[in-house]
Amino acid sequence: MGGCCGQNGDVPTTLEPVRVEEPDVDDELANDKPWVVIVWNDPINLMSYVTYVLKSLFGYSDDKATALMLDVHHKGKAAVAHGNREEAEMHVFRLHEHSLWASMEHDV
C-alpha cells in the first residue's frame, strides 16, 4: 500500500493551540458511536436457516449471507450489521424474533 497521509509541505512546524469546532450535540449522541450487531454460533439452528434469515432480514445476496453464516459456524461469531444504537437494537430484536443468538456492542 502506498503512503496515505499528507505531504511534507502540509506538516505543521509550530505547536500553536488550534481552535477546534465542537459538534453541537448532546453527550448521549456524542457517545453513540456506531454499533455492531453480532450473531453467535449455536449448535441448534440449522445452517440453511441462518443463511435464509440473514438474506431475508438484511437483503444480503446468497453469497454474502452464506459467507457470514460460515463465519458464525467456524469462528464462533460474525458481525452481520452496523448502525446507530436504535438501528442496531432493531436488528437485534428481529434476529431474536427469528431465534438467532444475537447481541450488539460498540464498534471499535
Interacting residues toward another protein by CB under 8 A: 41-50, 52, 55-56, 69, 72-73, 89, 92-93, 96-99, 101-105
The least distance separating another protein from the CB of residue 23, rounded to whole angstroms, comes to 23
The least distance separating another protein from the CB of residue 104, rounded to whole angstroms, comes to 6
CA–CA separation, 55 vs 44, rounded Å? 19
**Closer residue to another protein in complex, CB, 2/59:** 59
CA–CA separation, 42 vs 76, rounded Å? 8
Q: What is the longest distance spanned by two Cα atoms in the chain?
A: 61
